[in-house]
Every structure is written in structure tokens, then in C-alpha cells.
Structure 1
């Protein structure tokens, strides 16, 4: 795919420190685009850089602005303020995501997240039903199952090998060990064993596209089934055969095509409803 989007890096000053943000705008869109921007929520070891070229591809495929940010403690953003707990998913939706929205004057948005970022995207969709226009989740989990725990145990063991933590330091610097512990220690703790997505997002008002790999090493197909039932609006699923936990890296074209088609259909539906309302009112 030939990429045609501009990129801008910026830092937001907050009461918790600086937050790093990157935004992509399709060429020709000017200072604004007609449709709400897509906000990306990264995974447990992720950051803006680890999205690689996917955000730019997504901006081009959808014709929308795409915004990604490093959560506190990750990537180039400031260290986490220090009160990390099993509430970290709800905290992101209630405390930190609003800082991004306010600083960039984001009113309506599309929430798009991978793995725990998908959980955070769904939680934001539930918390801001009048602003979140659509939700796309990649490899999001709905509960903690044995496959989840086994996958995390294996990853923790792998990062304990000589030289492996340097893979994280490349992106998170001296925060790398905290990043790893925030993921593995939290999810493997007894206090997190009964966590469910429904506890944060009992229902979602906007349309939802659920994308999941058939061979995801962290979550069985029970997860997309439960995720699909959360939305009170249109829900669609894409189960990718031969795919593990990173659909946007393993099958980027299929993810991009599905996401673009889904968002285009939702925009057309909104436009049709608005036209129908205007005609009825006239």
C-alpha cells in the first residue's frame, strides 16, 4: 500500500507529567477531517513506536485522522504516577484518557485497541457513550482463562533470559522492567483472577467490530464471543485462521480492509439517519 499521510509528534503537559502523542492525517484532509478520529490504545508491552506503520496505513485506508499515545509508564511518556493497581484499566478510561481528549479537543472519536488496549478501548466506549462513535478491538480479552495465564508465564520466563529485557528497553528505556512487571505481575496475581470485561463495560452503545486470531496464545474464541455480546448496536466479528495475538502485524491487509469497511458502513448509516431525520422534520 502506498502511504499518503502526514505525521506529527507532540507532547502534552499534564498533572502526571508529559504524555507523548503521535497523529496521522490523510493527505488532502487539511486541518480537520469529516469523520471522528480513530484513537489507538496500545497493548501491555506496547507504545506508539510499536504500532509501526499500521496507524499510517489505517489513516489512508479509512480517510480518518489516527491518534496514538503512550500511556503513562510506557514509551516516551512520563513514568506512571505510582498508584498502579488492579483498577488500571478503569483508571485509563476515567483519569488518563480524558487528559488526551481535553488537550487535543477530541469530542467524538472511534476507539481502536489491541490486547489490553482493546479492553481499554471498550471501557472508554462504555464510559463515553455519547462521544464514542464506533469500537474496534484486536485480540481483546473478556476474562482471565488458563490460556491467558500460561501465555503470560511463558512470556515472563522468556524475558528473564539474558539479553531479552533489552528488547523492551529499546522502546521504554529505564521503565522497561516496570512495564514487564505491570503486565505479568498484575495478570498473574490472585487479586486479578476474577476480573471480567463486563465489570468495566457491561454494555456498549456504539457499533463494535471484534477481530481475533483463531490461534491466539492468550485467549480462546470464547473471548470474541463475549465481546460481541456487549454492544447494543451493530456487532461484527472477524476470526482470522492461522493468526495469533497480533492480527494487525500478521494479517494487516485483512485488518485494514475490515476496519475501513466497518467504519464506512457506520458513517453511511449515521448520514442516512441524519438525512431521514431532516426530511421528517421538514
Structure 2
């Protein structure tokens, strides 16, 4: 088990993964493990981890997957089952490395899908619940169209320069994600079957104006899950409600965390002022 500093690097297999730890360590309090989006990183979470730790009083661990942020790059093209590989090969090692004892997985977009795959495939009794922000369970036409459009933006506008602030190898980050989603074979990607095996409560937060997925994603969870599924649809937000409607999203996620941990008698000992 790694002794966690406020920031550092984890060696997971052949990769070095950057991380941040906010609030109490996993051996002191429950931990929220944040899993970023397809173009995300530690830095792109902004102050959301800090505010979430303050609102709940528990620890928040956030890391950049290989190919993102300051973590090691990956070989391209990414395999089309890259989210399954992250969920089943990498995430378990990360949880063990940080000494994860109990808490929740909170994922955004690709990170939400990875969290769902993990919880539906690994009966990990340490995981008390899932907070899924703009999750994908199937590939929709709107997703492909938006991802094709952002490829054009990346190659013809200042988007590449903006993303380079957050990724040491920005092309590795962008094309690893974009190339997989635009591969015609990826249209068959479907993780809805794993939802029936999730045994913990789920919160889904989605922006009403999400241009990467429709409310069909929520309907699939409601149809497939046997566990409780809470839904928060946020008007005025798109694909990143924790940035576009930060207060509402923070309140929804923190409230869900509080409810779940109280059921297990694991609420925070004291709030952070």
C-alpha cells in the first residue's frame, strides 16, 4: 500500500499515474475515487474534488489514467475494449495501491462507464455506491456526431492548445479517446448487461443539454438495474454538469454520498469547515 501524499505518482504495471488526495486518508475515513472523462485528467476536475471533500468530510482520491494528464502515455490506437481493461485490470490495482477500504466510485462520462463496468463485474464489498455523471452505456448517434465534430475542432481551432494545458502528451490523450469512439466497430459497444449485476445504489447526474448522450442512457439504467437508481437531470447543463452547474451537481453528489455512508454507519466524523 502506498503512503498517500497530497499529490504524487502511483506505479501501476508499466505506467506511472499522477494523483491527488484531498482530505482524510483511506485508513481514516471513507474515500471517494473520482474517475475522469475521456479527455479528462487530475487537473481538469478543477476544484470539484476539494469542494466534494469539504461538503462530505471524507477523503477524495483522483488520478489520471494512462495517456492523460501527467501520467504515462499509451500505445495508440487504444483497443476498443479500453474501458473494460481500465475497469478490470487497472482500477483494482489502483484501489489496492491506495489502501481503499470503503467508499464510492464517482465517474464522469468514460469514467462513469468504467465505474459501472467495475461494480457490475467485481463484487467489491468496499464499494458502497456509484455516482455517475453523464454515463454512457451504449453508443448513440448523437455521441458519434459530437465526437466527430470535436475532432474537427481539435485539428482546426485552438482546442488543441487549450487541452495541452492539461495533458503532457495532448495528441496521445485526444486521439486515444477520439480514435476509439470513431472506429465503426465501436458502434457495437454496449455495457448495459453489466448493470443487472450492480449491487449498490446508483446516482446518475445528467445535463439536460448533454450533446454526447440522451436520456436514453438513464432509461437503460432504470430498465436494467435491480439496485436503486436516483436521477438528477440538471437544466442548463450539458456534458459536464460539475463544471456547468457546479453547485447543483455538488449538492446532488454530496447528498447521495451522505445518505449512502449513513446507511453503513460510515458518515464523516466531522465536517471540514
| TM-score between both structures, scaled by the size of structure 1 | 0.86
Distance in 1, Cα, partners of 2:60 & 2:70: 18
Distance in 1, Cα, partners of 2:12 & 2:161: 29
Unmatched runs of 5 consecutive residues or more in structure 1: 1-6, 273-282
Q: Deviations over 1:167-226 (max 9, x none)?
A: 2222112x2112111222111111110111225544311000011111100111111121
Residues 142 and 226, structure 1, Cα contact 8 Å, conserved in 2: yes
Within 5 A, what are the aligned runs for 1:101-116?
Answer: 101-116=95-110
1:153 paired with 2:153, answer: no
- Number of the residue aligned with 1:89: 83
Residues 90 and 200, structure 1, Cα contact 8 Å, conserved in 2: no
Runs of 4+ in 1 over 6 A off after TM superposition: none
Q: Who wins on radius of gyration, i.e. which is larger?
A: 1
C-alpha RMSD over aligned residues:
2.1
Within 5 A, what are the aligned runs for 1:1-282?
Answer: 8-25=6-23, 29=24, 32-34=27-29, 36-80=30-74, 84-129=78-123, 130-173=125-168, 175-271=169-265
Distance in 1, Cα, partners of 2:75 & 2:159: 26
Check 1:81–1:103 CA distance in 2 against 1; reply closer, same or farther (3 A cut). farther
Task: State the structure with bigger RCO (CA 8 A, min sep 6), 1 or 2.
Answer: 2
Distance in 2, Cα, partners of 1:31 & 1:123: 23
Residues 206 and 231, structure 1, Cα contact 8 Å, conserved in 2: no
The structural deviation recorded for 1:150 is 1.0
Distance in 2, Cα, partners of 1:180 & 1:30: 32
Check 1:30–1:177 CA distance in 2 against 1; reply closer, same or farther (3 A cut). closer
Q: Which moved more, 1:150-159 or 1:223-232?
A: 223-232
The structural deviation recorded for 1:256 is 1.3
| TM-score between both structures, scaled by the size of structure 2 | 0.89
Question: Is the partner of 2:206 in helix, strand or coil?
Answer: strand
